[in-house]
């Protein structure tokens, strides 16, 4: 199969690289350095094609920087902390069928599956898979001498030092905390990277207020709300009649909760005991008392109440909650038209919305009803409209709402100012309790539903520290942050970032917290400063640096420059001094590259920990964020959801270079791209076209010719564009230049009679250099074909050589002329056996040049003055009508001209001669006899009077 040619080429060059190249970075103080990391992957199983996008960007950038003469450090590591590796090992131990099938589908040998029950073996196994099956197969130029794991003894020493420094700076604190918790695995991290969870990593933690309603049978009905100030507008309570509720003892009272709500509450309020059960239907039609106001309101049937959300008990505020308003209207309609099993018709008909808030946009009575009607919402099933209405009214009432006289002691106060005050007041008199829940369901990697648990005496990193936040925000102004969108977002994220719980208890992998025995530092907190450890890991891996030497004094000296080298035993001084010099050379980190899931979690804490601990000169220089590869429909590819094509299968099918080019060109880094096999196949076809073109032309031989100057100029121009794009990390733009525009340039060269001589080989060598960061295997093959010395992966680009813009202008002019003639043929329906071209006479060129000089000197043109000058010319006295028309048109063209257009005109005055030299080519291309005349040529053939339409570089055309 033709496509296997690319795979064969990849294997060939990977063998050669393995034999001849080591990508291990060495300090070279004669060269500028470049240090890049990508967010190291968690050890959670096999990776998939979505992961390879960011990794590929990292390698492309590093290859380019190496090509430009930088000394490049591109290390890799493995984030084995937390639960993922343990969860996977446990599922294998249990013989979980879906896990075993997943391993086999990804090519895991049968004999290895049994060994993977051991978590240490599992971490080592997948670390090797990532290196050998993914990163090496993709041709990544990674420095494996520095490879490290976050559960290695040396790394744990490093993290211990980091937390000693945070504590010394007063950035650790202890307080109660509500944290995500798996009943099986213990504490888990819930964030978009989904390190510890298989679903719901993007869930928010919602801080509810439980308003305690006095219900029938002395029950407490704890209604969870995000808007406790709306209690003054409650008209009724909703319970799901089909749900079996739990009666639980809380603080000596019976609370009514859904089963799921009971489980959640038991983790947050300590001693909660189940007393019994009661069906929701048994309480419908009864009443309860609104806290603080003491008003009595009915309990109504709400089949829409989800027992999984909060407590399963919902208060109704129809004047200010669109969902409640439409639910009440729906219930009224049902009771009018159908059965009334609870005898509620008259009660429900009598319920009117109670307006308690007046806002700028919604000053009327019943604002929620007004909004629902204006949006045309017909029933509860129009969820999108109701969500939009809810966001709209909540936002407006929070920012401009004022409580009215029905709100008792709080009347006249702004919602934005009273919200927290009211919560505290009611909590102090026992009418409100805090309650936390996720905005969506969260599932641990073990399969259990994650809850939120209250933890006493939790340790936090004080990211809320004002000085730390201010210094971090200021530093973003000096950083290279890609894309621009994230540059604008990051300061706000830093200002929003609050204290983060940094330790967990349970079966976690990681570093023991130095101030609380038995507690483990959680995975986000142990992956913030790690670029600095890559400087050290090389010496740990080689055995030059012993782990027991890595104490606080060692790290203080290496990273902070504290102390003297003489403070260390003599046998350690040599290696420690080398490490210190390496740190001074390689730091600061130039780019931290990772997916958009890290925008609000990893990147902020990465920056803040550097600012907190490292000297200012060592603060990071850049962040590069890329978006996701998605499945059809836009959903992120994830192992837990299927659709994750194994990387080895994709490599065998498409080839590595095809996939690398797909990642870099299918969309800009700041947009999600959909994984579509046919699109990846298109890139495969593109590379095969390039390979076959070069192979065919070089094997055919040939001599140089007059088009060689064009080819050199075209490649020089493309090379300049490539450098500009790469310097700005515009990878898609650079790939477009290399694989599409340059390809078209070579096709044109061949079309114009160029051959496979030395100029073509020289062009291919330049082309291969531009391809090398993106498709290194194909680049090596083309480099070798074209007689390049050594490996193109080790070559330098040099600078852009001056090139003849005139020769490029002539060829672009010719391409444009062919397109114009094709358009005329299509428009007229005449192919034409004879085509006549008419070029502008000298006076039109003189007028154009006069106008261009005028614009250059004065920044504007004066067509009236130029018209007057030209009408005074003796030879133009018979053109008094034509001259003003032509010069006015040329003046408009000149004012629209870009600099490149101006240069083209200045470098291309021999239009007529060039066209006449090109007649053989034009005749062959057009399949017609071609003639060229100047407009003023008395012998011209012009049966339709077209010649007078000619303008400089815009010949008139007659198709006969």
pLDDT digits (tens, 9 = 90+) for 287-332: 999 999 999 999 999 999 999 999 999 999 999 999 999 999 999 9
Task: Assess whether pLDDT exceeds 70 at residue 65.
Answer: yes
C-alpha 488/C-alpha 477 separation (Å) is 10
949 and 844 Cβ atoms separated by less than 8 Å: no
Non-local (6+) Cβ contacts of 202 within 8 A are: 192, 440, 597
Non-local (6+) Cβ contacts of 97 within 8 A are: none
pTM for the whole thing?
A: 0.83
Task: Assess whether pLDDT exceeds 80 at residue 368.
Answer: yes
C-alpha 316/C-alpha 233 separation (Å) is 8
Token reading at 851? 């106008």
User: 33 has which bridge partners?
Assistant: 71
Alpha-carbon radius of gyration of the chain: 36
Mean pLDDT of the 162-179 span: 95
pLDDT of residue 404: 95
209 and 422 Cβ atoms separated by less than 8 Å: no
C-alpha 282/C-alpha 247 separation (Å) is 13
Q: Indicate the domain borders of the chain.
A: 205-438, 807-959
C-alpha 193/C-alpha 890 separation (Å) is 59
Nearest to 86 by CA among 114, 122, 130, 124: 122
Angle between helix 677-700 and helix 742-751 axes, rounded to 10 deg? 40
C-alpha 313/C-alpha 255 separation (Å) is 10
Please give the share of the chain, as a percent, with pLDDT higher than 90.
84
Q: What is the largest CA-CA distance in the chain?
A: 113
Would you place residue 648 in the very low, low, confident or very high pLDDT band (cuts 50, 70, 90)?
very high
Nearest to 775 by CA among 793, 754, 749: 793
Residue range 548-562, pLDDT digits in tens: 999 999 999 999 999
Token reading at 593? 């590259």
Torsion sign over Cα 757, 762, 763, 769: positive
Mean pLDDT of the 907-929 span: 92
Task: Assess whether pLDDT exceeds 90 at residue 898.
Answer: no
Please give the share of the chain, as a percent, with pLDDT higher than 70.
99
| Chain CA centroid to CA 609, Å | 22
Q: 457 in the Ramachandran plot: left (φ > 0), alpha (ψ -120 to 50) or beta?
A: left
Helix (H, G, I), strand (E, B) or coil at 143: strand
Q: Which residue has the higher pLDDT, 471 or 798?
A: 471
Nearest to 956 by CA among 838, 845, 816, 843: 838
C-alpha 37/C-alpha 593 separation (Å) is 6
Task: Please report, in angstroms and rounded to a whole number, the separation of the first and last CA atoms in the chain.
Answer: 48
482 and 622 Cβ atoms separated by less than 8 Å: yes
Token reading at 767? 């082309």
User: 233-237, 362-366, 475-479, 801-805: lowest mean pLDDT where?
Assistant: 801-805
User: 614-623, 697-706, 899-908: lowest mean pLDDT where?
Assistant: 899-908
pLDDT of residue 2: 45
Token reading at 271? 């001693």
C-alpha 836/C-alpha 842 separation (Å) is 19
C-alpha 544/C-alpha 550 separation (Å) is 12
C-alpha 225/C-alpha 206 separation (Å) is 10
Which strand (E) or helix (H) includes residue 100? helix 97-105
Average pLDDT of the chain is: 94
919 and 930 Cβ atoms separated by less than 8 Å: yes
263 and 181 Cβ atoms separated by less than 8 Å: no
Phi, psi at 388, each rounded to 5°: -60, -45
Torsion sign over Cα 461, 465, 470, 471: negative
Token reading at 954? 């815009």
Residue range 486-524, pLDDT digits in tens: 999 999 999 999 999 999 887 789 999 999 999 999 999
- The residue assigned the tokens 């809810």 is 390
C-alpha 563/C-alpha 577 separation (Å) is 12
C-alpha 458/C-alpha 451 separation (Å) is 17
Would you place residue 193 in the very low, low, confident or very high pLDDT band (cuts 50, 70, 90)?
low
Domain 205-438, CATH class in plain words: alpha beta
Residue 135, Cβ neighbours under 10 Å: how many?
21
Nearest to 58 by CA among 591, 598, 599: 591
C-alpha 959/C-alpha 915 separation (Å) is 16
Nearest to 850 by CA among 813, 890, 910: 890
Phi, psi at 633, each rounded to 5°: 100, -5
Which strand (E) or helix (H) includes residue 335? helix 322-337
C-alpha 367/C-alpha 370 separation (Å) is 5
pLDDT of residue 798: 85
Q: Residue 474 to residues 235, 466, 469: CA-CA distances in angstroms?
A: 50, 12, 9
Token reading at 155? 């790394």
C-alpha 790/C-alpha 784 separation (Å) is 8
Residues comprising the chain, all counted: 960
pLDDT of residue 1: 42
Q: Residue 208 to residues 178, 431, 439: CA-CA distances in angstroms?
A: 12, 13, 11
Task: Assess whether pLDDT exceeds 50 at residue 383.
Answer: yes
Mean pLDDT of the 398-418 span: 93
Q: Which residue has the higher pLDDT, 455 or 470?
A: 470
Mean pLDDT of the 655-677 span: 96
Q: What is the DSSP letter of 556?
A: I
Is the bond leading into 588 cis (omega within 30 degrees of zero)? Answer: yes
Non-local (6+) Cβ contacts of 358 within 8 A are: 401, 402, 404
C-alpha 754/C-alpha 762 separation (Å) is 13
835 and 933 Cβ atoms separated by less than 8 Å: no
Non-local (6+) Cβ contacts of 846 within 8 A are: 870
Q: Residue 539 to residues 40, 531, 558, 583: CA-CA distances in angstroms?
A: 20, 15, 13, 12
C-alpha 151/C-alpha 140 separation (Å) is 24
Q: Which residue has the higher pLDDT, 237 or 381?
A: 237
Residue range 620-643, pLDDT digits in tens: 999 999 999 998 877 777 665 555
- Per-residue b/e over 807-843, b at no fewer than 16 CB within 10 Å? bbbbbbbbeebeeebeeebeeeeeebeebbbbbbbeb
Phi, psi at 150, each rounded to 5°: -75, -5
Q: 204 in the Ramachandran plot: left (φ > 0), alpha (ψ -120 to 50) or beta?
A: beta
- Neighbouring C-alpha atoms within 13 Å toward the C-beta of 333: 9
461 and 499 Cβ atoms separated by less than 8 Å: yes
Torsion sign over Cα 674, 675, 678, 679: positive
């Amino acid at each position: 199969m033709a496509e296997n040619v690319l795979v064969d080429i990849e294997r060939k060059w990977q063998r050669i690289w393995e034999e001849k190249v080591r990508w291990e970075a060495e300090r070279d103080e004669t060269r500028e350095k470049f240090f890049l990391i990508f967010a190291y992957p968690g050890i959670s199983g096999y990776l998939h094609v979505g992961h390879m996008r960011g990794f590929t960007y990292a390698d492309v950038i590093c290859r380019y920087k190496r090509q430009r003469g930088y000394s490049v450090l591109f290390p890799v590591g493995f984030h084995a902390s937390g639960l993922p590796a343990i969860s996977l090992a446990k599922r294998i131990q249990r013989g979980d069928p879906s896990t075993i099938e997943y391993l086999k589908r990804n090519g895991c040998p049968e004999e290895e599956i049994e060994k993977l029950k051991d978590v240490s073996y599992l971490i080592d196994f997948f670390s090797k898979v990532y290196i050998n099956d993914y990163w090496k197969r993709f041709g990544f130029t990674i420095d494996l001498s520095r490879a490290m794991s976050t559960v290695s003894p040396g790394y744990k020493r490093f993290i211990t030092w980091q937390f000693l420094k945070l504590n010394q700076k007063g950035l650790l604190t202890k307080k109660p905390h509500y944290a995500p918790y798996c009943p099986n695995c213990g504490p888990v991290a819930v964030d978009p990277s989904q390190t510890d969870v298989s679903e719901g990593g993007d869930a928010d933690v919602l801080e509810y207020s439980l308003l305690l309603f006095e219900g029938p049978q002395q029950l407490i009905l704890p209604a969870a709300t995000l808007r406790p100030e709306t209690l003054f507008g409650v008209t009724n309570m909703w319970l799901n009649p089909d749900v079996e509720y739990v009666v639980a003892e809380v603080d000596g009272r019976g609370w009514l909760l859904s089963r799921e709500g009971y489980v959640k509450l038991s983790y947050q309020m300590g001693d909660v005991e189940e007393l019994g059960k009661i069906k929701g239907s048994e309480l419908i039609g009864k009443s309860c008392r609104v806290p603080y106001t003491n008003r009595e309101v009915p309990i109504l049937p709400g089949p829409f109440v989800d027992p999984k959300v909060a407590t399963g008990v919902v208060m109704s505020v129809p004047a200010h909650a669109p969902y409640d308003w439409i639910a009440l209207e729906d219930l009224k309609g049902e009771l009018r038209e159908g059965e009334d099993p609870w005898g509620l018709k008259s009660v429900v008909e009598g319920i009117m919305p109670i307006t308690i808030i007046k806002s700028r946009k919604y000053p009327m009575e019943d604002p929620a009803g007004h909004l629902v009607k204006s949006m045309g919402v017909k029933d509860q099933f129009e969820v999108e409209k109701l969500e939009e209405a809810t966001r709209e009214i909540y936002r407006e009432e929070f920012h401009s709402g004022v409580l009215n006289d029905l709100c008792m002691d709080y009347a006249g106060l702004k919602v934005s100012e009273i919200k927290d005050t009211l919560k505290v007041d009611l909590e102090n008199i026992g009418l409100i309790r805090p309650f936390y829940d996720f905005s969506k369901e969260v599932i641990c990697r073990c399969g259990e539903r994650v809850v939120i648990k209250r933890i006493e005496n939790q340790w936090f990193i004080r990211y809320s520290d004002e000085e730390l936040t201010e210094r971090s925000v200021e530093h973003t102004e000096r950083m290279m942050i890609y894309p621009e969108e994230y540059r604008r977002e990051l300061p706000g994220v830093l200002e929003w970032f609050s204290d983060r719980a940094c330790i967990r208890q349970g079966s976690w992998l990681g570093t023991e917290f130095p101030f609380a025995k038995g507690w483990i530092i959680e995975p986000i907190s142990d992956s913030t400063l790690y670029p600095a450890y890559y400087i050290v890991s090389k010496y740990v891996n080689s055995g030059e640096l012993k782990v027991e030497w890595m104490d606080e004094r060692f790290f203080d000296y290496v990273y902070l420059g504290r102390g003297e080298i003489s403070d260390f035993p003599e046998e350690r001084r040599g290696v420690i001094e080398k490490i210190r010099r390496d740190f001074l050379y390689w730091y600061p980190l130039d780019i931290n590259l990772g997916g958009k899931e890290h925008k609000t979690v990893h990147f902020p804490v990465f920056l803040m920990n550097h600012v907190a601990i490292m000297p200012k000169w060592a603060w990071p220089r850049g962040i590069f964020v890329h978006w996701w590869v998605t499945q059809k429909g836009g959903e992120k590819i994830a192992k837990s959801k299927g659709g994750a094509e194994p990387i080895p299968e994709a490599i065998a099918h498409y080839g590595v270079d095809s996939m690398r080019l797909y990642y870099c060109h299918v969309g800009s880094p700041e947009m999600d791209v959909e994984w579509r096999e046919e699109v990846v196949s298109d890139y495969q076809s593109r590379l095969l076209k390039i390979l076959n073109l070069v192979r065919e032309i070089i094997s055919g031989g040939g001599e140089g010719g007059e088009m060689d100057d064009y080819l050199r100029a075209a490649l020089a121009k493309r090379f300049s564009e490539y450098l500009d794009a790469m310097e700005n990390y515009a990878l898609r733009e650079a790939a477009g230049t290399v694989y599409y525009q340059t390809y078209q340039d070579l096709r044109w060269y061949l079309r114009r009679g160029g051959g496979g001589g030395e100029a073509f080989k020289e062009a291919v060598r330049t082309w291969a250099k531009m391809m090398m960061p993106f498709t290194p295997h194909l680049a090596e093959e083309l480099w070798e074909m074209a007689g390049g010395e050594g490996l193109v992966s080790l070559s330098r680009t040099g600078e852009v050589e001056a090139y003849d813009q005139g020769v490029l202008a002539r060829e672009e002019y010719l391409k444009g002329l062919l397109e114009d003639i094709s358009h005329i043929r299509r428009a007229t329906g005449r192919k034409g056996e004879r085509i006549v071209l008419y070029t502008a006479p000298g006076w039109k060129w003189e007028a154009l040049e006069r106008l261009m000089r005028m614009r250059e000197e004065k920044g504007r043109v004066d067509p009236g003055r130029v018209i007057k000058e030209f009408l005074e010319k003796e030879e133009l006295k018979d053109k008094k009508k034509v001259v003003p028309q032509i010069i006015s048109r040329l003046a408009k063209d000149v004012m629209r001209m870009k600099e490149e257009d101006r240069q083209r005109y200045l470098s291309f005055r021999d239009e007529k001669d060039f066209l006449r030299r090109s007649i053989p080519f034009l005749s062959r291309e057009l399949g017609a006899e071609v003639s060229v005349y100047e407009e003023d040529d008395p012998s011209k053939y012009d049966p339709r009077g077209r010649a007078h339409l000619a303008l400089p570089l815009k010949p008139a055309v007659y198709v006969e």
